[in-house]
Structure 1
């Protein structure tokens, strides 16, 4: 199993290669793009834009009369997005390095706010949603996607078995908390309501990620980037390598029995309107 590597998010090469992860963000992004209002001349904000998958698509799909503002505190990703915008010759995109908790936009100035796997990964989602509501005009829409509780449940089942067999059941609560911290449709809807937004549409689906086995899963660049640090944090660092090796072996056995390792990821796209 590939050993853990610390990721320096400020390094330009991380952002430069982040676009190699479309199989993670694309199912959510396509779900979002199928539901956003597409009108010429509208003002759009992409919160947690990253390297700009949704930003670039909306800038083109809504026509040059529209204005899309990409907001993210990740400066290296914003530089990567700016390069893409320049290469594509897009003149209707503003790239802004800023916190989503303090959007640099006037009140009631935006027609559409989108966030593809953005808001749920920020430190203070309620504060971000209040900011989104602040900048939206009355009747403006927010469309956001998120992964849901039950995400990669196959990995968590193997992890629970590993903790039990290795005599580390004391850390079961940390694993359960990590698994259950993800959103539900109800929790997202409640946050939107509190922020002053009325939910008008909810779409749910499940997509599947397939790997040859557990070893391939743990060696995958995106898994090491986005999930391995969290999985390691469940147990003391002195135990992490042993536990994750055991989890990988259990997933290898599942793959051998089923012909491949298939992980399920439940997802939701929620649309809300500013009151």
Structure 2
């Protein structure tokens, strides 16, 4: 399996597994930052929007509301179980202008200039070649259209993140991540350089510092179970080992009341 196919398989497996906790109220940040991304785009009624790595609709659903019945949103993800969650929410909201579909952002089959707006929230870093992925997204935007890429800033989910990997490493050092793919674009400079390399000139880049509250340490474990960390946890098939990892992780953050959620937004006009 090549690097790209392996990355796609890992992302799909992690987030399909995480679907049972993805929309838990303790992980409300997915939808908060998705909506804030859409708010920065000033979408107009009737526009056509592509949302890649859409998850359960954190940005796709507010985009569908913004473009109205004359507009259209195509929401794409590799994780079928997250798409099912998004479809259920669209039915509940009676949104008929949104289509959720399984797909790879690098091979969607849309022609040049198919959309007024393309959105990617917390997803571009799952592709080994972020520049190639961004070029492909840019290709599908009409002249005058906009590209929105939102990514994590520095110190994501600290201090719980470091405690998580310490806890995993004590039993399963083979599973400890040595590199977080978003680190290359976790600063405005890094994100701007990546966009410029992809041919996306003069993007507007905004930073938002923040913290996500935890009512108790158990809230962090629910966040981990409903996010990319689930891919690691799913590889620990021994229940006693998993219980030790959980206990060690939570003991190390017993006095933690918030985790870091710094975000970087970019908006570029073609």
Q: TM-score range by the shorter chain?
A: 0.7 to 0.9
- Partner of residue 262 from structure 1, selected from 249, 254, 258: 258
User: How many angstroms apart in 2 are the aligned matches of 1:18 and 1:56?
Assistant: 16
* Partner Cα distance (1:193, 1:212) in 2: 41
Tell me how far 1:53 sits from its aligned partner: 2.7
Deviation at 1:89, TM superposition (A): 3.3
DSSP 3-state at the match of 2:106? helix
Take 1:202 and 1:241, find their aligned partners in 2: how far apart are those partners?
41
Structure 2: any 5+ residue segments left out of the alignment?
1-12
Flag the 1:136–1:162 CA change in 2: closer, same or farther, 3 A.
Answer: closer
Distance 1:261 1:103, change over 3 A: same
RMSD: 3.7
Equivalent-residue separation in structure 2 for 1:127 and 1:179 (angstroms): 15
| CA distance in 1 between partners of 2:29 and 2:213 (Å) | 12
Query: Over residues 69-93 of structure 1, what are the superposed CA-to-partner deviations in whole Å (9 max), with x where a residue is unaligned?
Result: 1112222333333343344333322
**Structure with larger RCO (C-alpha < 8 A, sep 6+):** 2
Kindly indicate whether the alpha-carbon contact (under 8 Å) linking 1:70 and 1:95 is maintained by their aligned counterparts in 2. Answer: yes
The aligned counterpart of 2:199 is 196
3-state secondary structure, aligned to 1:95: strand
Partner residue, 1:104: 109
Whole-angstrom CA distance in 1 between matches of 2:36 and 2:216 = 28
Kept in 1, the 8 Å contact 2:211–2:261? The answer is yes
Instruction: Report the TM-score, using the length of structure 2 for normalisation.
Output: 0.76
- From the CA coordinates, give the structure whose radius of gyration is larger: 1
Q: CA deviation at 1:143?
A: 0.9
How many residue pairs are counted as aligned between the two chains?
Answer: 254
Do the aligned partners of residues 8 and 206 (structure 1) sit closer, same or farther apart at CA in structure 2, a change above 3 Å counting?
Answer: closer
Contact 1:149 1:179 in 2 (8 A): no
What's 1:155 paired with? 160
The equivalent of 2:6 in structure 1 is none
**Counterpart position of 2:151:** 146
Contact 2:216 2:257 in 1 (8 A): yes
* 2:214 match: 211
